[in-house]
Structure 1
Amino acid sequence: MARIIIADDDEFFVDLVRAALEPLGHAVGALSDGDNVSAVVNRKQPDLLILDCSMPGKTGIAVLREVRASKTYRVPVIMITGRTSHADEDIGYQAGADDYMRKPVDPDNLVVRVEALLPEPLRRAG
């Protein structure tokens, strides 16, 4: 079981992520803006962080840069966003994202990508 934090202001999308990951045994916590993400990540030490690029407060890119500059810099991060340009994707990777997905997200694809970034002991069985 992995501890996963998602920062996204879209409640429907947060529910979709939970519906995809919680049945696998993962615990999913959610934040609706970018202002407190770095502090929560430092305190909770999640196994994976999912960030939206555009949310109230700090952007996902700003949060990602903070996380990469902190003691939790090694936490895997997936950027998931409605931004569709390759330039936005490049910015995400340059800021330190481990993966980048565009909305709408296929839940099965999300599961595959999350599992690929988790250490072996935290992946679902089978």
Structure 2
Amino acid sequence: MSSTHEVDLQEPDYRFSLANERTFLAYVRTALAMEAGALAVVQLLPDVASEQWRRVAAVVLAVLGLVVAVSGYRRWASNQRAMRRGRPLPDTWLIPVLTASVAVASASAVVVLLVSR
């Protein structure tokens, strides 16, 4: 008989574990794309905006990449725990934040491209 401190863990269906892993890898790809975008803004767009604007944009993208990578791992781990315990998957704040961040970055890129030369 298990005590109140022990949690009955069960192995989830491997298809759900693999789907959770694929989702985590999508977060990693998104984080890498943000990091690549940060480097591209600084290195490849000298004529688009001032150096200060490019550096700010690069830092924002790099920080977002870091947040997405770390949060993606935490989401993967919490989903795995929930599946093993037979509990509902936890809610996440990452999806709306990521959506808003990409929308702001895209809108900023459009504005910069429209006002540059």
- Fold shared, TM-score > 0.5 on shorter chain: no
TM-score, normalised via structure 1 length: 0.25
User: Is the helix fraction higher in 1 or 2?
Assistant: 2
Which is higher, the Rg of structure 1 or of structure 2? Answer: 2
TM-score, normalised via structure 2 length: 0.26
